Amino acid sequence: MGLDAFIILFIIIFLRRDLDKSPDSQFWRKRFNYGMILTIVLGVFSQVEIGITILWDLGLIAIFGILAYIIYTIDQFSHKKYFIVCWAPTIILSFLFGQIENFFPSFAESWMEVVAAIMVFTIIWGFGLWLFGRRQRKALERERKIAEEKEKEYQVTQEIRASLELEVSDRTKDLVKQKEELQKTLEELKSTQDQLVHSEKMASLGELTAGIAHEIQNPLNFVNNFSEVSNELIEEIQEEFAKPKEERDSELIQEIFDDLAKNLSKIQSHGKRADSIVKGMLQHSRNSSEEKESTDLNLLADEYVRLSYHGLRAKDKSFNAEFELDLEEGLPELKVVPQDIGRVLLNLINNAFYAVNERRKSGKAPEDYKPLVTVATKKKSSGIEITVVDNGAGIPKENVNKIFQPFFTTKPTGSGTGLGLSMSYDIITKGHGGKLKVKSKEGEGTTFTINLNEED
């Protein structure tokens, strides 16, 4: 077969390949089968020179023309138009050069190289356009599929939208009702929250009670003791003054007066100590006035660690722990709300004592374990840092980030409200513009750090 017969056969095969199983496709499949057979026969006859060769060539041209007509007039094959554009030059030139070779052999021989070059160019042109058209066709097919998918997605979206609009319409009344119920619930929650905060304050006051009783007992004992001694000294001086003037011991009288002065000074000192404890208790129990005053944080830390320790000792006779104070000397006073900072320290120190005591009672601690809580103060460039360190069991890693959340607690049910650390965090960060951070490692202990900035 010649080149033109191969090209026509190639076009028929590609047209036939795109047919489906519909009745129309069955009709065209049969026609294309006949065309393939006829093309092969004409191509063979044209090469073996049976009969008049020009007739076979004209037959091939006629088949190509029919194919062009089908492609350009039948919508089913219109997407294959690029086949005609690709191969028409090659078919026509092959036919013309074949006839020139038959009728003008000498002319054809002299122009053979030019003819061959032109044929090669048309073949390259045909293949190039065919490949380009095929690639374009695939790209268009992909775009068509994408467009179909988008159309399907759009239809699905429209259906979902209609369904959602209907559902939203049906639920609007319920939402309005739920909003009213939620508003009422929110108001109730706010009221409950206020009650819980008040309860937490009262709970911390309760924690102080036993410690205050122990702490206030010491200065009262001193006052009572020095009062009794002073009464005895007064009796002695009265006895001395009852003697005749010449028998009185002036040196003894002076010593008694000196002792009385010392006793009165000590009674005054311990009375002030008792007064400061009572004042601190009253400040702690009342609502914060949010009025900041210059405060010695060393004294505040010392007072609350002792109150916490003695309170826990009075509450639980099995409680056993040690505490250390590492207070920096010369620490400047800082403007804070003393009762609020006292609440924070009490919460942190109580938690620290609880942690070390629980580890001691758990039986999992080393044999040489000594429960220890350390409270330290330190001057920083921007303010003052207070740390509360314990060597308890530590906080599990997954709970560290939740420790300041309201109502979150690692203690057993009934052992805490879960508001202590949350309130402490708010007091430090919102009330005093400072920072409260926690660092913990299981099996080693926990450190709470308070950073309070100096006011300009």
Least confident of 90-104, 376-390, 437-451: 90-104
User: What is the C-alpha radius of gyration for the chain, rounded to an integer number of angstroms?
Assistant: 53
Rounded distance between C-alpha atoms, residue 67 and residue 31, angstroms: 11
**In this model, does residue 116 exceed pLDDT 70?**
no
Condensed to tens digits (0 to 9), the pLDDT of residues 132-155 reads: 666 766 777 788 788 888 888 888
* CA dihedral sign of residues 62, 64, 65, 70: positive
The domain spans of the chain are 3-156, 290-456
> Measured in whole angstroms, how far is the alpha carbon of residue 247 from the centre of its chain?
91
pLDDT exceeds 90 at position 258 = no
Of 34-38, 236-240, 261-265, 286-290, minimum mean pLDDT range? 286-290
Helices (H) and strands (E) in the chain, counts: 11, 7
Q: Give pLDDT tens digits for 222-233.
A: 677 667 777 777
pLDDT at 287: 47
Question: Which residue, among 441, 445, 448, 306, has the nearest Cα to 386 in the 3D structure?
Answer: 448
The average confidence (pLDDT) of the chain is 77
240 has a pLDDT exceeding 50: yes
Mean pLDDT across 253-258? 78
**Range with the largest mean pLDDT of 66-75, 168-177, 371-380:** 371-380
The pLDDT value given to residue 139: 73
Residue 373 has pLDDT above 90, yes or no: yes
**For residue 249, with 0-12 CB atoms within 10 Å meaning exposed, 13-18 middle and 19 or more buried, which class applies?**
exposed
Residue 374's pLDDT is 95
pLDDT tens-digit series, residues 282-341: 655 554 456 788 989 999 899 888 888 887 877 777 888 999 999 999 899 999 988 888
pLDDT over 50 (residue 123): yes
Q: Is the pLDDT of residue 375 over 60?
A: yes
**SS3 category, 371:** coil
pLDDT digits (tens, 9 = 90+) for 60-88: 788 888 888 887 888 777 777 766 767 67
Q: Can you name the CATH fold of 290-456? A: Heat Shock Protein 90 (3.30.565)
